[in-house]
Amino acid sequence: MAVIAQKCPHIKVTVVDMNAKLIAAWNTNSLPIYEPKLDEVVFEARGRNLFFSTDIDANLIAADIIFVCVNTPTKTHGIGAGSASNIKNVEACARNIARVCTTPKIIVEKSTVPVKTGEAIARIVASCGNGVAHSVLNNPEFLAEGTAIDDLWAPSRVLIGGSNDAAVEKLVSVYANWVPRERIITTNLWSSELSKLVANAVLAQRISSINSISALCEATHADVDEVARAVGMDYRIGKYFLKSSVGFGGSCFKKDILNLVYLCQSYGLHEVAEYWNQVVKINDYQMKRFANNMIKNMFNTITGKKICLLGFAFKKDTGDVRETAAAYVAKYLLEERASIAVYDAKVSADSMFEELKYTNGVDETTIPELKKLITISNTDVYAAATGAHALAVMTEWDEFKTLDYERIFGLMVKPAFIFDGRNILDHAKLRKIGFEVHAIGKVFEA
Ligand SMILES: NC(=O)c1ccc[n+]([C@@H]2O[C@H](COP(=O)([O-])OP(=O)(O)OC[C@H]3O[C@@H](n4cnc5c(N)ncnc54)[C@H](O)[C@@H]3O)[C@@H](O)[C@H]2O)c1
């Protein structure tokens, strides 16, 4: 919405949320999320044609186009628990619009939703409204956190699904202020909803494919980076998303694949469901394999040993920790009662503990001494490494490539282990310093 406001000064954009604390933060100089270049975009447009408000009803009434961008998490209870998306927030928005709006609105599903949600929204606004004919479009968001602003400034494509031509054209005309027309594609509503799920499933599948091969590389003296390079140079395959790692995270990949899996199951397509479910299973396997490798190589015990995790965010250039591989690995290490010092410049202690609890069920009821066993620093990586038996790279932050590893080696217990979960460090140089280095998809060299 901030980028729409920046690129279309003639359009008034108001962001509303029921979370008053968030809206208050969006109106300060300290924005509630870290995303490169977001500050400059918000500061340019805010107060001019970009506003943040908690007055949901008044702003719905005033709007011509309403983007529904609420969260659609995986259901934790009831039918489809563990795989279906919960669209209760989307439905609440539809009911709110129906209740207060007396002029026709273009309602845009921006949230990632199960196929046919558009139909549900259309029925709700038709049956609970004031007799007004609203139109429903789907306009999935393809941005990636960490590169969101660049992705929005120059999107690979903008997808708009819907059957009301006038409404579709109106939304096309918003994006056409900065996106070339040939990159704005229009489809029917269901294709658009499904395309978002499939895009994320295919991206995640590429990561799981190369991660499955990383295990084979470790067993066969092949090198996963060499294999990925050789495979990716085939123009039919391409080089993107073939970087092996400890596993993918983020709020969308797992949720959207499970959403697709549930959709297939509900149409009785069990083989198709199981095909896509494997992408998630391989990811779980990769995270567990990484933690098991750490334990095995550190003489089969890490109880009482200090381990320094470099990074906690699910990827670099974001403070987002939802579904981060770091939390899964931390859980496995905590189960062994290791002591963990996390260093991540952009992750708060609150969000780390929230994620450990929400996704991994780790809190002080499951591990009473949790707050003593795991700590996080935003400022001092060297203190985090002091007295550690091992470093484990969880996030591919650029700063980890240029740390003073001679100094870190001096601060650590020997043998000093490094487990590079992102394959970003100079392993030969680290071995020369004296570290025992283990990497993903590479044969161990003493
Ligand atoms: N995060 C991403 O990179 C990304 C990318 C593409 C698509 N998406 C999709 O976008 C949607 C939102 O994702 P997110 O990461 O921004 O989620 P989020 O949880 O960070 O934000 C959702 C916001 O919606 C608000 N909200 C919920 N119900 C509401 C209601 N009834 N009225 C008013 N406000 C309400 C919440 O308070 C919250 O601030 C999801 O469907 C997600 O799959 C996210």
* pLDDT tens track for 23-58: 999 999 999 999 999 999 999 999 999 999 999 999
For residues 258 and 266, what is the distance between their CA atoms, to the nearest angstrom? 12
Q: Residue 13 falls within a domain, yes or no?
A: no
Q: Are residues 282 and 366 in the same domain?
A: yes
For residues 193 and 137, what is the distance between their CA atoms, to the nearest angstrom? 10
pLDDT at 220: 94
pLDDT over threshold 90, residue 444: no
HEC readout, 210-270 = HHHHHHHHHHHCCCHHHHHHHHHCCCCCCCCCCCCCCCCCCCCHHHHHHHHHHHHHHCCCH
pLDDT tens profile 251-268: 999 999 999 999 999 999
Instruction: Examine the fold and report which residue of 187, 213, 239 is the final residue of a domain before the chain moves on.
Output: 187
pLDDT at 356: 98
Considering just the CA atoms, what is the radius of gyration of the chain in Å? 24
Among all residues, which ones are annotated catalytic?
252
Measured in Å, residue 255 CA sits from the centre of ligand 1 at 13
Paired residues of 418 in beta bridges: 391, 437
Instruction: Examine the fold and report which residue of 162, 187, 212 is the final residue of a domain before the chain moves on.
Output: 187
Q: Are residues 163 and 275 in the same domain?
A: no
Between the CA of residue 152 and those of 37, 40, 57, what are the distances in Å? 11, 14, 28
33 lines ligand 1 (CB under 6 A): no
| Domain of residue 275, residue span | 190-446
Instruction: Examine the fold and report which residue of 137, 172, 187 is the final residue of a domain before the chain moves on.
Output: 187
The mean predicted confidence, pLDDT, of the chain is: 97
The DSSP 8-state label assigned to residue 342 in this structure reads E
Q: Are residues 173 and 250 in the same domain?
A: no
pLDDT tens profile 363-421: 999 999 999 999 999 999 999 999 999 999 999 999 999 999 999 999 999 999 999 99
The DSSP 8-state label assigned to residue 73 in this structure reads P
- Identify whether the C-beta of residue 175 lies closer than 8 Å to the C-beta of residue 227: no
Q: Which residues make Cβ contacts (< 8 Å) with residue 123, sequence separation at least 6?
A: none
Alpha carbon 328 to its chain's center: 15
Q: Residue 91 falls within a domain, yes or no?
A: yes
71 lines ligand 1 (CB under 6 A): yes
Q: Are residues 212 and 155 in the same domain?
A: no
Question: How many structural domains compose the chain?
Answer: 2
For residues 253 and 284, what is the distance between their CA atoms, to the nearest angstrom? 13
Q: Are residues 168 and 213 in the same domain?
A: no
Measured in Å, residue 391 CA sits from the centre of ligand 1 at 34
Q: Residue 27 falls within a domain, yes or no?
A: no
Q: Are residues 200 and 307 in the same domain?
A: yes
pLDDT at 129: 81
- Identify whether the C-beta of residue 23 lies closer than 8 Å to the C-beta of residue 54: yes
pTM score, whole prediction: 0.95
pLDDT tens profile 313-345: 999 999 999 999 999 999 999 999 999 999 999
Best of 22, 38, 71 for a ligand 1 pocket test (most atoms within 8 Å of beta carbon)? 71
For residues 165 and 157, what is the distance between their CA atoms, to the nearest angstrom? 19
pLDDT tens profile 287-311: 999 999 999 999 999 999 999 999 9
Amino acid found at 71: N
145 lines ligand 1 (CB under 6 A): yes
For residues 149 and 145, what is the distance between their CA atoms, to the nearest angstrom? 9
Q: Residue 10 falls within a domain, yes or no?
A: no
Q: Are residues 151 and 202 in the same domain?
A: no
Q: Residue 18 falls within a domain, yes or no?
A: no
Q: Residue 426 falls within a domain, yes or no?
A: yes
Q: Are residues 194 and 303 in the same domain?
A: yes
pLDDT at 103: 96
334 lines ligand 1 (CB under 6 A): no
Measured in Å, residue 72 CA sits from the centre of ligand 1 at 7
Nearest CA to ligand 1 atom 26: 70
| Residue 217 backbone phi and psi in degrees, to 5 | -60, -45
Report the CATH number at residue 314.
3.40.50.720
Name the strand (E) or helix (H) holding 437.
strand 436-439
Measured in Å, residue 70 CA sits from the centre of ligand 1 at 4
Q: Are residues 69 and 150 in the same domain?
A: yes
SS3 46: strand
SS3 417: strand
pLDDT tens profile 188-199: 999 999 999 999
pLDDT over threshold 90, residue 445: no
25 lines ligand 1 (CB under 6 A): no
Q: Are residues 156 and 268 in the same domain?
A: no
For residues 298 and 253, what is the distance between their CA atoms, to the nearest angstrom? 32
197 lines ligand 1 (CB under 6 A): no
Q: Are residues 302 and 272 in the same domain?
A: yes
Q: Are residues 115 and 244 in the same domain?
A: no
Mean pLDDT of 428-440: 98
pLDDT at 272: 98
- Identify whether the C-beta of residue 323 lies closer than 8 Å to the C-beta of residue 253: yes
pLDDT at 266: 94
pLDDT over threshold 90, residue 443: no
Q: Residue 235 falls within a domain, yes or no?
A: yes
- Identify whether the C-beta of residue 393 lies closer than 8 Å to the C-beta of residue 310: yes
Name the strand (E) or helix (H) holding 95.
helix 88-100
pLDDT tens profile 203-219: 999 999 999 999 999 99
pLDDT at 130: 86
Measured in Å, residue 71 CA sits from the centre of ligand 1 at 3
Q: Residue 69 falls within a domain, yes or no?
A: yes
